[in-house]
Amino acid sequence: MTRIALVTGATAGFGRAICRTLLDAGYFVIGTGRRSERLAQLQQEYGKHFFPLAFDISDRLAAEQALKSLPPEWQAIDLLVNNAGLALGLESADKADLGDWEKMIDTNVKGLVTVTRLVLPQMVARNQGHIINLGSIAGNYAYPGGNVYGGTKAFVKQFSLNLRADLAGTHIRVSNVEPGLCGGTEFSNVRFKGDDARAAQVYENVQYVTPQDIANIVLWLNQQPEHVNINRIEVMPTAQTFNPLKVSKND
């Protein structure tokens, strides 16, 4: 039986790799994002197996209209991958830009809950489905400048667990993928607002986790038998590990 997946943030990074991996595995895929020309490229490659749905996820009305506009044969979504998201800036909380904070909350929190709320009722009606959210290690561990970005990802983790609580007794699964340092995406170019040299430095001389690694994990999560729910999966490059907690001493 062919499965239908909806992947948010399909125009770059993880989302694009997840779309390709699901399409190659035989899924029909709805891909979203604001850059419609990139969605059109995927449609050119995969033809009727890919449905482009361009909208700004932080615009609730646009999200509602987009989801409503899906043709009937695309509405029974079996797998929702809530991947679209961003970090903006790395300044400490007293210096960070409030507009950046709002944009992260509007996208990573409000956008994600909007799409979830729009897709979930048909999953419940069919008693079938899987929601895979893209959290982050930033939602598990604090780091300087992680302030609101980490806060949004902690929200995604707890929202995922609370969805599980609400979906008790159904066959619907919810998983939160929590990656660490991953290269090959636009994440740091966006975070550093187009300072591509600074973005490149983040990944210099490190064997980072790739978008394909994340896509493989997403496919594997969904391929588990229906009675198996992976609640959370944290993934880091082997090269990334922990520091002692910081203690500031009096002089």
Residues annotated as catalytic are 149
Q: Which is nearer to ligand 8X3, 172 or 177 (CB)?
A: 177
Q: Closest residue (Cβ) to ligand 8X3?
A: 136
The closest alpha carbon to 42, from 53, 57, 56, belongs to 53
Among the residue ranges 28-36, 92-100, 119-127, 158-166, the one whose residues contact ligand NDP (CB under 6 A): 28-36
Work out whether 83 is an interface residue with ligand 8X3 (CB under 6 A): no
Answer with the entry of ligand 8X3, ligand NDP, none that 33 interacts with (C-beta below 5 to 8 A by kind): ligand NDP
Tell me the three state secondary structure of residue 22.
helix
Rounded least distance, CB 229 to ligand NDP, Å: 21
Among residues 7, 15, 114, 148, which is the contact residue for ligand NDP, using CB under 6 A?
15
Tell me the three state secondary structure of residue 67.
helix
Q: Residue 92 — φ and ψ, nearest 5°?
A: -70, 160
| DSSP percent split of the chain into helix, strand, coil, nearest 5 | 45, 15, 40
Tell me the three state secondary structure of residue 168.
coil
Partnered with residue 33 across adjacent β-strands are 54
Tell me the three state secondary structure of residue 157.
helix
In whole angstroms, what separates CA 182 from the centre of its chain? Answer: 13
Rounded least distance, CB 194 to ligand NDP, Å: 12
Rounded least distance, CB 136 to ligand 8X3, Å: 3
Q: Which is nearer to ligand 8X3, 31 or 180 (CB)?
A: 180
- In whole angstroms, give the CA distance from residue 228 to residue 158: 19
Buried b (16+ CB within 10 A) or exposed e, 48-57: ebbbbbbbbb
Among the residue ranges 39-47, 59-67, 115-123, 134-142, the one whose residues contact ligand 8X3 (CB under 6 A): 134-142
Partnered with residue 6 across adjacent β-strands are 30, 80
* H or E stretch at 80: strand 79-82
Among residues 136, 152, 160, 185, which is the contact residue for ligand 8X3, using CB under 6 A?
136
Q: Count residues contacting ligand NDP (CB under 6 A)?
A: 27
Among residues 18, 112, 137, 167, which is the contact residue for ligand 8X3, using CB under 6 A?
137
Q: Which is nearer to ligand NDP, 195 or 226 (CB)?
A: 195
Among residues 9, 150, 151, 237, which is the contact residue for ligand NDP, using CB under 6 A?
9
CA-based radius of gyration for the chain: 18
Residues found near ligand NDP in the complex (CB under 6 A) = 9-15, 33-35, 56-58, 83-86, 107, 134, 136, 179, 181-182, 185-187, 190
Residues found near ligand 8X3 in the complex (CB under 6 A) = 136-138, 146, 180
